């Protein structure tokens, strides 16, 4: 083959084949274009594990936001979530907002939510496991995390159904655009109208719930604006719901279709769901892409990236990097070359093994990492208790896909039918 | 007020380092360590309390003088 065989036409990134199975293209990027200048989409793409990890850790060169939060710009007016922490880049305001709630989702904060998580998982499973078969995505995983987070926020349980509806519209708006975006923004506005009196009430009479804590938090004697509180809630519902929802579906998909042999090990030892979670986050994480902007010229692989360039960090590719993981295209819950335990924001581990990149690393590392793992593992273990001898209803499956990898379109199976003995 | 890190408990999550880089760092041995052992200002003490709150392993200890 000639040299041209390794050239990449950037239009490939828009093809349905790439949305379905991006891994062959990831490999070509890693092997031949570790820093790829995509002139068609006006961006640079980084695909190797070490490079993605290093960029995540280098706040000085790579910022999450192009504009400063204190600049003369409108933030998030057309974003599905409204103004939110993700828009705040590497600023002090970001650090402060994150500190307000980060502690709620780890350590003692997390432990205090476990009974909630157990209870909601049990209730939902009770409802959907009566028939000897269940469509997991619609009946369970789509509903579970959103119900958990609305409980943690202290929202009325009677209104949970409405939250599930708003959340599904928000997520569709985020992933598909077009009319879905319009519907997503309409749902957000409806939700905000609903939230405003509740937020005002919590400001007058704060409780122990997370919504009160967010509304009451102060930096230099100032609280968040009403718009910011509402944007934060929208983000929590969506980010805290959708990703975990899809993680659960992905874990089951891989056990039922990718590694039924290793599923037998999990049936014998449910604590292995922890490993299923870690390996799912490496092999085909819910989110494959994060973006950054260069704050100055950056030299990499013998080239210079100009200041204020859009950088795509392909963590989905870094996770399959053969330079770091043996047999990267094999799903293996007994992997010994990766840290399988709880993730760290620093990407440093006492066992000295590399971790997956599925939550990102560093300043903007997923805030709900411990919560997500806990919810997913509890849910999967409860399912095993309530469904005897679970197996796929259909012999074949269309597999995992995403509406649009670039827009953060989250990867998961559209449907997952499970049969079991009652 | 004094702040210390229990390295047996520390899982190197890095939450203290990312949230309060003026108080904590990863040292040359790749271990979390304290940059300002004795906290005198309100800002430092607030930072240390927040760090204790976000530490996922409960490794951060605060002691009054």
pLDDT in tens, A218-227: 777 778 888 8
**pLDDT of A4 above 70:** no
What is the chain A residue with the closest CA to B48? A99
Report the pLDDT value the prediction gives residue A133, as an integer from 0 to 100.
94
The pLDDT assigned to A104 comes to 77
Residue A219: inside a domain: yes
Q: Examine residue A55 and state whether it is found in any structural domain, yes or no.
A: no
Q: How far away is chain B from the Cα of A145, in angstroms, using its nearest Cα?
A: 21
Distance CA(A329)–CA(A317), nearest Å, equals: 11
- Residue A168 within any structural domain of the chain: yes
A356 within 8 A of A281, measured Cβ to Cβ: yes
Nearest-angstrom CA–CA distance, A99 and A102? 5
DSSP A390: E
The answer to the question of residue A152 being in a domain is yes
Phi, psi of B61 (to 5 degrees): -115, 140
Question: In this model, does residue A157 exceed pLDDT 80?
Answer: yes
Please answer whether residues A242 and A171 qualify as being in contact, where contact means their C-beta atoms are separated by less than 8 angstroms: yes
Searching chain A, which residue's CA lies closest to the CA of residue B53?
Answer: A103
Q: Are A338 and A353 in contact (CB under 8 A)?
A: yes
Residue A253 pLDDT > 90, yes or no? yes
State chain B's maximal CA–CA distance in angstroms: 30
Q: A410: how many CB neighbours lie within 10 A of its CB?
A: 22
Closest chain B C-alpha to A350 CA, distance in angstroms: 7
Looking at residue A78, its pLDDT comes to 56
CA distance A94 to chain B (A): 10
State yes or no: pLDDT of A407 exceeds 60. no
Tokens standing for A241?
């719901």
Q: Which residues in chain B are closer than 8 Å to A344, comparing Cβ atoms?
A: 11-14
Preferred mutation among B5, B8, B14, B49 to probe A, highest tally of A CBs within 10 A: B14
In this complex, how many residue pairs, one in chain A and one in chain B, have their CB atoms less than 8 Å apart?
51
Spatial distance between the Cα atoms of A249 and A19, rounded to a whole number of angstroms: 18
Half-sphere exposure of A403 (CA within 13 A, CB side): 14
Q: Are strands A62-63 and A218-219 parallel, antiparallel or unpaired?
A: unpaired
In a domain, A313, yes or no: no
Of the residues A100, A113, A345, A347, the best mutation for testing chain B's interface (the one with the most B CB atoms within 10 Å of its CB) is A345
Average pLDDT over chain A reads 88
Closest CA to A47 of A347, A411, A405: A405
The whole-number pLDDT of residue A349 equals 93
Mean pLDDT, residues A173-181 taken together: 74
A99 in reach of chain B (CB within 8 A): yes
Cα dihedral B20→A293→A246→A340 (10° resolution): -50
Element (H, E) at A313: strand A310-314
Contacts of A342 in chain B (CB under 8 A): 11, 56
Chain segment A70-86, per-residue pLDDT in tens: 555 555 555 677 766 76
Q: How many domains does chain A have?
A: 1
Note the pLDDT tens digit of each residue in A255-301.
999 999 999 999 999 999 999 999 999 999 999 999 999 999 999 99
**CATH number of residue A114's parent domain:** 1.10.630.10
Contact A370 B56 (CB under 8 A): yes
Radius of gyration of chain B (CA): 11
Residues 6+ apart with CB under 8 A from A5: none
Q: Which residues of chain B make contact with A102, given a CB cutoff of 8 A? A: 15, 19, 54
| pLDDT score, position A345 | 92
- DSSP structure class, residue A323: T
For residue A417, give both structure tokens: 């039918």
A362·B15 Cβ contact <8 A: no
Distance (Å, whole) CA A215 – CA A228: 9
Residues of B with CB under 8 A from a CB of A: 11-15, 17-19, 26, 30, 50, 53-58
The beta-carbon neighbor of B18 closest among A103, A350, A363 is A363
**Residues on chain B touching A345 (C-beta within 8 angstroms):** 13-15, 18
* CA-closest candidate to residue A343, choices B41, B15, B32, B4: B15
Q: Terminal CA-to-CA distance of chain A, rounded, Å?
A: 57
Domain around A173: 71-289+328-421
Among the partner residues A99, A107, A346, nearest to B17 by beta-carbon distance: A346
C-alpha A404/C-alpha A287 separation (Å) is 10
Is there a domain that residue A382 lies in?
A: yes
Q: Which of A99, A107, A365 sits opposite B50 (nearest CB)?
A: A99
Reduce the DSSP state of residue A241 to 3 states and report it. helix
Cα–Cα dist A188/A196, whole Å? 12
Confidence grade of residue A231 (pLDDT, cut at 50, 70, 90): confident
> Does the distance separating the beta carbons of B18 and A346 come in below 8 Å?
yes
* Residue A419 burial class via C-beta count within 10 angstroms: exposed 0-12, middle 13-18, buried 19 and up: middle
Q: Give the residue among A81, A97, A78, A73 at the shortest CA–CA distance from A192.
A: A81
- Domains present along chain B, CATH in parentheses: 2-60 (3.30.70.20)
Instruction: List the one residue out of A360, A361, A356, A285 whose CA is nearest residue A321.
Output: A356
Rounded average pLDDT over A166-183: 78
Rounded Cα gap, residues A286 and A263, in angstroms: 20
In a domain, A301, yes or no: no
Q: Is the pLDDT of residue A422 over 80?
A: no
The predicted-structure confidence for A160-169, as pLDDT tens digits, reads as follows: 888 888 888 8
Token digits of residue A408? 């953060």
Kindly state whether A98 is in contact with chain B, defined as any CB-CB distance less than 8 angstroms.
Answer: yes
| Nearest CB to A362; choose among B18, B30, B53 | B18
What CA–CA distance (Å, rounded) separates A408 from A70? 26
Residue A78, exposed/middle/buried by CB under 10 A (0-12, 13-18, 19+)? exposed
Q: What does the buried/exposed string (b/e) look like for A164-191 if buried means 16 or more CB atoms within 10 Å of the residue's CB?
A: bebbbbbbbbbbbbeebbebbbebbeeb
Q: What is the mean pLDDT of residues A137-148?
A: 90
Residue A110 has pLDDT above 80, yes or no: yes
Which percentage of chain A shows pLDDT scores above 90?
A: 57
**Residue of chain A whose alpha carbon sits nearest to that of B30:** A348
SS3 at position A141: helix
Model confidence at B34, pLDDT cuts 50, 70, 90, reads very high
pLDDT in tens, A306-338: 999 999 999 999 999 999 999 999 999 999 999
A64 — contact with chain B (CB < 8 Å)? no
Task: Assess contact for B37 and B43: CB atoms under 8 A.
Answer: no
Q: Retrieve residue A344's tokens.
A: 């760290």
Rounded to 10°, the helix A179-204/A160-176 angle is 140
Instruction: Evaluate whether residue A333 is within a structural domain.
Output: yes
Residues A213 and A202: their CA atoms lie apart, in Å, by 9
């Amino acid at each position: 083959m000639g040299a041209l065989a390794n050239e990449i036409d950037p239009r490939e990134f828009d093809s349905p084949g790439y949305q379905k199975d991006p891994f062959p293209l990831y490999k070509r990027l890693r092997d031949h274009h570790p820093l790829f200048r995509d002139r068609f989409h006006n961006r640079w793409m980084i695909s190797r594990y070490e490079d993605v990890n290093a960029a995540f850790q280098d706040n000085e060169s790579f910022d999450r936001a192009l504009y400063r939060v204190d600049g003369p710009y409108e933030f998030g007016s057309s974003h599905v979530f409204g103004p939110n922490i993700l828009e705040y880049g590497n600023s002090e305001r970001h650090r402060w907002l994150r500190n307000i709630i980060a502690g709620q989702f780890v350590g003692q904060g997390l432990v205090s939510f476990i009974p909630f998580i157990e209870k909601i998982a049990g209730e939902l499973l009770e409802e959907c496991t009566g028939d000897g078969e269940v469509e997991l995505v619609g009946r369970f995983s789509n509903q579970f995390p959103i119900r958990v987070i609305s409980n943690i926020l202290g929202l009325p349980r009677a209104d949970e159904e409405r939250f599930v509806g708003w959340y599904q519209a928000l997520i569709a708006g985020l992933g598909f655009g077009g009319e879905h975006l319009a519907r997503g923004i309409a749902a957000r506005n409806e939700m905000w109208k609903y939230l405003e009196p509740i937020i005002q009430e919590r400001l007058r009479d704060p409780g122990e719930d997370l919504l009160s804590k967010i509304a009451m938090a102060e930096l230099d004697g100032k609280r968040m604006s009403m718009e910011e509180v509402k944007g934060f809630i929208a983000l929590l519902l969506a980010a805290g719901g959708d990703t975990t929802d899809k993680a659960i579906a992905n874990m089951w998909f891989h056990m039922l279709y990718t590694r039924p042999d290793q599923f037998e090990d999990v049936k014998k030892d449910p604590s292995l769901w922890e490993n299923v979670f870690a390996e799912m986050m490496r092999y085909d994480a819910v989110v494959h892409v994060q973006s950054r902007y260069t704050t100055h010229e950056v030299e990499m692989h013998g080239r210079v990236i100009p200041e204020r360039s859009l950088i795509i960090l392909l963590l989905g590719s870094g996770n399959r990097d053969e330079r770091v993981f043996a047999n990267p295209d094999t799903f293996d819950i007994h992997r010994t070359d990766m840290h399988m335990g709880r993730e760290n924001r620093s990407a440093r581990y006492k066992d000295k093994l590399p971790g997956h990149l599925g939550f990102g690393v560093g300043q903007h590392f997923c805030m709900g990492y411990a919560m997500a793992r806990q919810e997913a593992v509890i849910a999967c273990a409860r399912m095993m208790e309530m469904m005897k001898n679970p197996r796929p209803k259909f012999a074949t499956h269309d597999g995992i896909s995403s509406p649009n990898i670039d827009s953060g379109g989250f990867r998961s199976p559209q449907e997952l039918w499970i049969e079991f003995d009652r | 007020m004094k702040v210390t890190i229990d390295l047996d408990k520390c899982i190197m999550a890095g939450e203290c380092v990312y949230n309060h880089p003026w108080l904590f760092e990863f040292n040359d041995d790749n271990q979390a360590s304290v940059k300002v052992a004795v906290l005198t200002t309100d800002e430092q003490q607030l930072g240390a309390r927040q760090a204790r709150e976000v530490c996922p392993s409960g490794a951060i200890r605060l002691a009054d003088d």
